[in-house]
Amino acid sequence: MKPATLTIRVWDLPTRIFHWLVAVLVVFSFATGKIGGSWLEWHMRSGYAILTLVLFRLAWGIVGSETSRFARFVRGPAAFFRYAGDIVGKRHRAVIGHNPMGGWMVLFMLVLLLTQASSGLFADDEIATQGPLAVKVSNALVAKMTAFHYYNGWTLIGAVFLHVIAIAAYWMAWRDNRVAPMWTGRREMDGAGTQPELRATWIAAVILASSAGFVYWLVVVYPRG
Amino acid sequence: MKKSALAAFVVLAAAAIPTVAQQMKAENQVKYRRAAYQLMNLNFSNLEAMAENKKPFNKDEAARNAEFVTLLSTVPKGFFGEGTDKDTRAKPEIWKNRPDFDARMDKMTNEAAKLPAVVKTGDMTAFKKQVHDLGEACKACHDEYRAKQQ
């Protein structure tokens, strides 16, 4: 007899909003960055929003819901290689939250987003647009940050492609829909599964507001001083 | 009277640049084109700030910036002689695809030349568009012929 399916609330609302906002903003940032000209103003605003969201997500990775916490999903090499072995051996393992490989990818993408948004603050296109902190550091550093911002941007796009390919592969290989849970927050599990502890949304709102306040200070108040 | 004399001088000076530049050693060609680019950057950044409402639009100030940009935009083309890529971010492709490089350079100069008149009308929509178009023309060359790192 087929075991009864169990509906589990995998992703909390803040993590889902974070995910989809970042997805949209990354595409927008990439496009406006490549078009350039006056669109760079929007590129910068988008970057500030991404920085705000990533700072929020890093904090949420410490005090947030169980499935969003780094301590839960960033796993050691043993778990990583066991899971990788399962993938190579075409064995499907349903995991609540990030799997041991995906967890590293999440961390990697967060680092890429953080370094990309931060380096942009110091960048200068040497036409008419400068990041808000470019005036605060040496021109040698500005040149380094501008070049880094360019190359790191392509690394980020590469990581996004890899991420999307992985999601598509789960669907094609096992009909495992990873998009729906990130949208609805819920996932059906066959048999056993423990409901992860989800934190209240208002805590996330407070963290997000603090994060936004800090970024506002960093890009508007501090450069004036 | 004084202004037209200045204008005449400027036109003559700009016309004289390519002949002077051809006889100039590579290091100095780089020096002068950089000087022109840096002053364009300074003036154009101010126009961009006004176009993006980061600072209030001031017609006199903008007109001055626009005149500088227009004039300075004619300078670099004559200072890209053979062998002037050494210790710069200029890509060797410039000299392989010279007609394309020159076309992009002329496009930039043409867009810059439209700026002063647009500023004088005070039409913010047209001003913003022209600032954007010039920025695009600058970028078109940087994307293709300027290395990200030296």
Q: What is the pLDDT of residues A68-110, one digit of tens each?
A: 999 999 999 999 999 999 999 988 888 899 999 999 999 999 9
Whether residue A3 is contained in a domain is answered as no
Shortest CB distance from A36 goes to which of B41, B44, B136? B136
CA closest to B38 among chain A residues: A126
| Predicted confidence (pLDDT) per residue in B81-127, tens digit | 999 999 999 999 999 999 999 999 999 999 999 999 999 999 999 99
Q: What is the reported pTM?
A: 0.89
Reply yes or no on whether the pLDDT at A2 is more than 70: no
pLDDT bin (cut points 50, 70, 90) of residue B19 is low
Report the domain count for chain A.
Answer: 1
- What is the structure's pLDDT at B1? 43
- All structural domains of chain B, each given as residue ranges with its CATH number in brackets, are 2-145 (1.20.120.10)
Q: Does B111 touch chain A (CB under 8 A)?
A: no
Reply yes or no on whether the pLDDT at A1 is more than 80: no
Find the domain containing A145 and state its range: 8-224
Decide if A37 and B139 are in contact by the 8 Å CB cutoff: yes
Provide the chain B residues 28-67 that lie in CB contact (below 8 A) with chain A.
37, 41, 44-45, 47-48, 51-52
Whether residue A2 is contained in a domain is answered as no
Reply yes or no on whether the pLDDT at A62 is more than 50: yes
Average of pLDDT values for B75-82? Answer: 94
Distance CA A30, CA A202 (A): 31
Identify any residues that bridge with A130 across adjacent strands, giving them in sequence order: A124
Residue B95: exposure state from Cβ atoms within 10 A (0-12, 13-18, ≥19):
middle
Decide if B52 and A143 are in contact by the 8 Å CB cutoff: no
Reply yes or no on whether the pLDDT at A13 is more than 60: yes
Residue contacts between A and B (CB atoms, under 8 Å): 47
| Predicted confidence (pLDDT) per residue in A197-219, tens digit | 999 999 999 999 999 999 999 99
Q: Give yes or no for a contact between A41 and A129, defined as CB atoms under 8 angstroms apart.
A: yes
Which residues in A2-24 are b (16+ Cβ under 10 Å) and which e?
eeeeeebbbbbebbbbbbeebee
Shortest CB distance from A127 goes to which of B44, B133, B148? B44
Say which CATH number the domain at A159 has: 1.20.950.20
Q: Does A130 touch chain B (CB under 8 A)?
A: yes
Decide if B133 and A147 are in contact by the 8 Å CB cutoff: no
Using an 8 Å CB-CB cutoff, list chain A residues near B35: none
Q: What is the mean pLDDT of chain B?
A: 89
Cα of B2 to nearest chain A Cα, Å: 31
Reply yes or no on whether the pLDDT at B5 is more than 70: no
| Predicted confidence (pLDDT) per residue in A109-163, tens digit | 999 999 999 999 999 999 999 999 999 999 999 999 999 999 999 999 999 999 9
Reply yes or no on whether the pLDDT at A65 is more than 80: yes
Whether residue A216 is contained in a domain is answered as yes
